[in-house]
Amino acid sequence: MGIMAVLMLPLLLLGISGLLFIYQEASRLWSKSAVQNKVVVITDAISGLGKECARVFHAGGARLVLCGKNWEGLESLYATLTSVADPSKQTFTPKLVLLDLSDISCVQDVAKEVLDCYGCVDILINNASVKVKGPAHKISLELDKKIMDANYFGPITFTKVILPNMISRRTGQIVLVNNIQAKFGIPFRTAYAASKHAIMGFFDCLRAEVEEYDVVVSTVSPTFIRSYHVYPEQRNWESSICKSHPIPCTVEAPGRK
């Protein structure tokens, strides 16, 4: 009995050491951010929601590529993120890219520039959005087209440049920050709602297309808040364009977690 105890002791110690190692590794992996080292691209990063996304991903150790139409706004966000970074955690200096999704002629080139920042994109957050309010018969076709460029053609053009990289790597996530008006008709929102219905349809179909490549497509359909707005003069619908910065309320990614 004594001999057996002596022989079993090393095995017992080895077993305990193994369990301790597994526990330590599990704890390390559990504490590690899910976005650590991931390349995350955020459009309209200088909006209210964009800034909050940037803060969370930066704190989580993501490699950020922040896109926006205003360079001063991007620099201000950059300064804020770097000044509040936790020195005890690994963070990466954000990269800044000027991007106006309503300027379709430049979107492809800018998207390629974004892709070249790190050679890949793990998470793309399509956050940019422009809205207009006014009676349908008062809004010109030129303004309708402008809204469609910013809210539909711009984001899908940008996504189409990034998508082949995700498919070839068989990994990636695309998030569309949309609006509840993609589901319901609201008076005086014809142009905006039409663009939101259109892009919802595109990304719903895309989700089914790329699932086999392990690329996840999620759509967020929130209500919206107004982070800033310049009230227009009467009948001046063009100047009523403002940014919509949504607060998420529903997320759709059928069949995927």
Active-site residue set: 192
Q: Which residue has the tokens 């498919």?
A: 167
- Give residue 77's identity as a one-letter amino acid code: L
Residue ranges of alpha helices (H) inside the chain are 2-31, 48-59, 71-83, 104-118, 141-148, 154-169, 190-210
Q: What angle do CA 94, 95, 96 make, to 5 degrees?
A: 120
> What region, left, alpha or beta, does residue 188 occupy, with left being phi > 0 and alpha being psi -120 to 50 degrees?
left
Both structure tokens of 244 = 């919509």
CA dihedral sign of residues 55, 61, 67, 72? positive
Parallel, antiparallel, or unpaired for β 242-243 and 223-225?
unpaired
Cα 111 from Cα 157, distance rounded (Å): 9
92 in the Ramachandran plot: left (φ > 0), alpha (ψ -120 to 50) or beta?
A: beta
Take residue 206 and report the two structure tokens written for it. 């895309």
Helices (H) and strands (E) in the chain, counts: 7, 11
Cβ atoms of 182 and 196 within 8 Å: the answer is yes
